[in-house]
Each structure stands twice: as C-alpha cells, then as structure tokens.
Amino acid sequence: MKTYSNNELNRLLVNFDVAEKKYSFTPLTDGFINDTFLVFDDNDPLFILQRINHKVFTDVEGLMNNVRRAFEYLHDTEYRAITLVKARTGESYYSQQNGESTFWRVMTYIDGSTAYNTTENQKVAFEAGKIIAKFNILLQAANTEDYVDTIPRFHDLELRANQFEAALQTAPDEKLDIAKGAVKFANEVLKKLSAFTLSNLPVRVCHNDTKLNNILFSKDTKKALCLIDLDTLMRGYFLYDFGDAVRTIVNTAPEDEKEHEKITFDKNLFEAFVDGLGANGPFLSPKEIDTLPWGAVLMPFLHGIRALTDYLNGNIYYKVAYENQNLDRCLSLFDFTQKALNNFNYMEEVIWEKLGDV
Ligand code: GN1
Ligand code: MG
C-alpha cells in the first residue's frame, strides 16, 4: 500500500463536503485491493476515506452509481445506514489528476462498530446470517438492470478456470513444481463442479464479497449493524453471498492459515449462521436453497484458484505481504473447499431443515 502523509490526506479531504480542519488518519490494512483510512477529528473517528483501485475497478463511475443507488435501499430499523459524503463537485467521488488519476470517496463511520476477521462465537455467526439476509431482502426492491457489473464475470468459474490455464502456460517451472499439489486439486475440483449448473436461478443484486470482516458489529452488543465494502455489489446469485460467508465464518482460522489442522468446518457455527439467515423470514426460492451447499464449495474454491493464478502470475492482482502469500491463501482455501465437500450432505440436511419452510 502506498503511504500517504497526513498533509496529503488532508489536502484530499478538502475536496469533500466536510468541515475544514486538520484531521488525522489511521490506515486500515485488511483489504487486498483498495487503500482505506479511518479519519479522526481529535480522537473521534468520523469518516472512512478510500482510494478506489481503478486498475481492478475500471468503471469507477459505474461502481459509485451502484453504491449510491444501493444505499437508497440499505436502511431499516434492523440495518444501519452508511452514507456517502459528496465531493464538492456534487459527485459521489473525487478524481485527483496528479500525473496518474486516482479516485477517492468518503463515507460516514459508525462509531462503536467493529469487524472480526474470524470468530468462534455463535452469536456472531447468527448475526452475520441475519444481516446478510436483511441486505438481500432490502435489495429485492432494487431493479437489477440499474446496476453495472463492476467486475464482469467476477464469480464465473469458467473465466477463472481459463485464467488459471493461461497462468499455467506462462508460469516458471519452479513455481509450477512448488504448486503442483494445488494444481492437481484445482483440476479435480473443476471436474466435480462441472456437474453443477446455475441456469434458471433468480438474479439478485448481491454483495459478492460477504466475508466476515465485511460486516460491522456493535462493539458492545455484538449485534450486526450492516455490510461494508460494496464495490462488488452487482448482479449475482444468492449462493455467492452464502458461500463467501460460510468460508469465513465456519472456518475459525484466517484465509491464509498455514497450519491446516487449524482450518475448521465448525458445525455449530454453520448452524448458527443458517439460523440467522432464516431469522427475517423466508426469502429464498426452493431452487436457490438447493444450490447453497454448492455455494459453500464454489466460493472458497474460486478464491483459491484466483490466488493460485495470481501466485503463478507473480502476484500482480492481490496485495501480498510476502512472496508466497498467494500460494498459502490458495492451499488454505483449497483445504476448506475439501472440508466443505466432505460436509456436503450435512449442509443439505441442515439448510433444508432450517430454511426449507417456504
Ligand atoms: C479481495 O480487498 P478485499 O479484501 O475487499 C477480493 C475478494 C476476496 C478478498 C479476500 C475485488 O477483497 O473477492 O474475497 O480479497 N476482491 C476483489 O479473499 O478481487
Ligand atoms: Mg472487497
């Protein structure tokens, strides 16, 4: 992540509709794509300032329109609103022309909120399910045609398989040798997943990155407040939001955990999460319910194969803290994929028992 001085960040903030004073900033380093800062006035955290990675999100205007439109629906007694702070131009973001163009946005910060990278707490798992369901229910009122695909074919397995194939052709032999176990696993799972089809599923406006740390919770009560990081909000299937949540909630280890015996498929957390999904009443069609166990296999696998592809390509997409981090992510995500496959029938039973009453 590029480092910015307080002065630089203050100069940027002047372009937004905020009171003019000297703010201080803390970088938030959990994301792999954008650069994010918490903005303080004295000791009060007030805003989130973010540089949008326009190499990944090439249609910044389309992305910001998606976010702006979705925010119109995303508030409720059970869903805390976040608002965009407008740029002084009246737009929802600011583009800085300083040699290279960079794109910035400011959002309100919810005081007293926190996020978890992992959890062992069933209440957190339940609350996560409840807020993800709420998010999808609120967006049922939105018109899917109004939203652009911020990353076309983002969760498309065929695209990810093609990118993986291309990386295999150009990767150095040494990397291919180090990653040979992962490559073999990827090919096996690709074969298994080819039996699965997405046709005839309802298209929704989905979040598409519902990992646990994209949910804000109240620090005091652990109640889920809302979802953050709406960059990948676009058309999709509910199984995507289901699978991304499962891979980060049911597994109590981080997504790049090297000691695989620590990677769990925790049934209590899974059941609490599914209970949470049902807590706002039914909202999924039987066809969607049928696909959910596939989602719990597909999503960790997709992220794993993308990390593997990036490892083979020399870490050009994700930020990495060390050379082999993408490979560690892949191996860990593949381990969880196998654990989800082992629990496929169990997931089917639990899901139908808890959500089948539609
Ligand atoms: C990336 O930067 P972050 O953490 O929001 C990725 C997601 C992955 C995530 C973690 C646009 O998101 O798909 O879930 O890393 N986002 C993009 O694996 O590629
Ligand atoms: Mg994201």
pLDDT tens per residue, range 174-192: 999 999 999 999 999 999 9
pLDDT at res. 1: 65
What is the average per-residue pLDDT within 18-35?
93
| Average pLDDT of the residues of the chain | 96
By alpha-carbon position, which residue is closest to atom 14 of ligand 1? 209
In angstroms, the CA 156 to CA 299 distance is: 10
pLDDT at res. 354: 97
pLDDT at res. 2: 77
**Backbone phi and psi for residue 36, each to the nearest 5 degrees, phi listed first:** -125, 140
- Element at 57 (helix H, strand E): none
Characterize the bridge pairing of strands 35-41 and 215-218: unpaired
By alpha-carbon position, which residue is closest to atom 16 of ligand 1? 33
In this structure, the residues whose C-beta lies within 6 A of any atom of ligand 1 are 31-33, 56, 151, 209, 211, 229, 232, 255, 303
What is the average per-residue pLDDT within 59-82?
97
pLDDT at res. 200: 87
- Element at 218 (helix H, strand E): strand 215-218
Best residue among 51, 209, 257 to mutate for probing ligand 1's pocket (most ligand atoms within 8 Å of CB) is 209
**Backbone phi and psi for residue 190, each to the nearest 5 degrees, phi listed first:** -55, -40
Q: Which atom of ligand 1 is nearest to 57's Cα?
A: 11
Distance 350 CA to ligand 1 centre (A): 28
pLDDT at res. 3: 87
pLDDT exceeds cutoff 70 at 14: yes
Distance 321 CA to ligand 2 centre (A): 17
Phi-psi group of 171: left, alpha or beta (phi > 0 → left; psi -120 to 50 → alpha; rest → beta): beta
pLDDT at res. 25: 97
pLDDT exceeds cutoff 60 at 236: yes
In angstroms, the CA 353 to CA 162 distance is: 37
Spatial CB neighbours of 106, under 8 Å, sequence gap ≥ 6 = 13, 16, 18, 39, 47, 48, 49, 50, 84, 85
Percent of the chain topping pLDDT 90: 94
In angstroms, the CA 107 to CA 164 distance is: 36
> Using 50, 70 and 90 to split pLDDT, how confident is the model at 48?
very high
Beta bridge partners of 320: none
Q: Which of 88-102, 142-156, 177-191, 249-263 has the lowest mean pLDDT?
A: 88-102
pLDDT at res. 197: 86
Distance 188 CA to ligand 1 centre (A): 24
Distance 356 CA to ligand 2 centre (A): 30
Ligand nearest to the CA of 330: 1
Q: Which atom of ligand 1 is nearest to 317's Cα?
A: 19
pLDDT at res. 254: 95
What is the average per-residue pLDDT within 36-40?
96
pLDDT at res. 79: 98
In angstroms, the CA 158 to CA 161 distance is: 5
CA dihedral 212, 215, 217, 219 (to 10 degrees): 70
Asked whether 188 and 337 are in contact (CB, 8 A), the reply is no
Ligand nearest to the CA of 318: 1
Distance 140 CA to ligand 2 centre (A): 21
> Using 50, 70 and 90 to split pLDDT, how confident is the model at 82?
very high
Q: Which residue has the tokens 């380093």?
A: 29
> Using 50, 70 and 90 to split pLDDT, how confident is the model at 62?
very high
Asked whether 272 and 249 are in contact (CB, 8 A), the reply is no
Asked whether 252 and 146 are in contact (CB, 8 A), the reply is no
Ligand nearest to the CA of 32: 1
Q: Which atom of ligand 1 is nearest to 319's Cα?
A: 2
- Secondary structure of residue 314 in the 3-state scheme: coil
Pinpoint the alpha helices (H) of the chain. 6-13, 60-73, 122-138, 157-170, 173-178, 180-193, 238-249, 267-278, 286-313, 325-342, 344-355
Does residue 100 or residue 52 have the better pLDDT?
52
Best residue among 34, 117, 211 to mutate for probing ligand 1's pocket (most ligand atoms within 8 Å of CB) is 211
Q: Which atom of ligand 1 is nearest to 244's Cα?
A: 14
Amino acid at 76: D
pLDDT at res. 358: 52
What is the average per-residue pLDDT within 125-131?
98
HSE, side-chain direction, 13 A CA sphere, residue 167? 23
Q: Which atom of ligand 1 is nearest to 255's Cα?
A: 18
By alpha-carbon position, which residue is closest to atom 17 of ligand 1? 33
Q: Which atom of ligand 1 is nearest to 30's Cα?
A: 4
Distance 33 CA to ligand 1 centre (A): 7
